[in-house]
Chain A
C-alpha cells in the first residue's frame, strides 16, 4: 500500500532563517506531488505541484520554493522565512492517471511557527 511521510512534524524558526520541509511517498511510482498550506482557521491553499522530477508549478507568488530531486521526494524550502510563512504545511500525492479523479492523499502535516 502507499504511504506518505513528511518531516519535521513541528518546528519553530526565527524570521530570516532558512526552511526545509521534506516529503516522501512509498508504494507508488510517478505520483503527482503537492504542497498545501493551511493558515490557522482557514482552508487549503495549493502552493506547488509537480508531475515529475524537476517539474514544479507554482500556484501563488511567495517566499517559498519547491524541488523534486527524486521521483517520490518533494521538498519545500525558503531562504529567508517571514512571519507570514507560519502555518500548517501539508504534502500530498495523487495517482497520475486520466479519469482517476485525481484522488489526493495527504501526509501528516508540519506545523511551522516563525518567530
Chain B
C-alpha cells in the first residue's frame, strides 16, 4: 500500500542550527515527491517537489531535499534555521499516472528556540 511516514512528530532546533526532517515513502511506481509547510491557521505552501533528474532539489526559503531511491527517502534540509521557520512540515507522494490520490504524511512540527 502507498504510504508516507514522517518519523518525527516534532523537532526542536536552535536558531542558526541545521535542520533535517525525515520522510520515508512506500510507492509502487515512480514517485513524485513534495514538501509543504503550514504556518498555524494557514493553508499549506509548496516548498519543493521532485519529479525526475537531479536528486537534490532546491526549494523556496532556503530549503532543499534529497531523493534517495535506495532508502525510499526524501529528507528536507536547511543549513541554518530561522525563527520564522517554526511551522508544520508535510511530506507527500504521488505517481506519474495523473492520479488524484496524493498521500500526505502526518506532519512534523518544528520548534525553533532562540
Contacts and interface: CB of A to CB of B under 8 A. Distances in A.
Interface of A: 32, 34, 42-44, 46, 49, 51, 57, 88, 90, 94, 96-109, 111
Contacts of B97: 98
Contact of A102 (B36, B90, B94, B105): B94
A101 B94 contact: yes
B27 interface: no
Contacts of B44: 44, 90, 106
Given A43-B105, A98-B96, 4 more contacts: A43-B104, A94-B100, A99-B96, A101-B34
Given A43-B90, A43-B107, A44-B104, A101 B43 contact: no
B63 to A, nearest CB: 16
A35 B98 CA distance: 18
Nearest to A9: B41
A109 B104 contact: no
Interface residues of B, number: 25
Interface of B: 32, 34, 36, 41-46, 49, 51, 90, 92, 94, 96-102, 104-107
Contacts of B43: 90, 106-109
B32 A101 contact: yes
Contacts of B96: 98-99, 101
Contacts of A51: 100
Contacts of B42: 108-109
Contact of A104 (B51, B98, B102, B107): B102
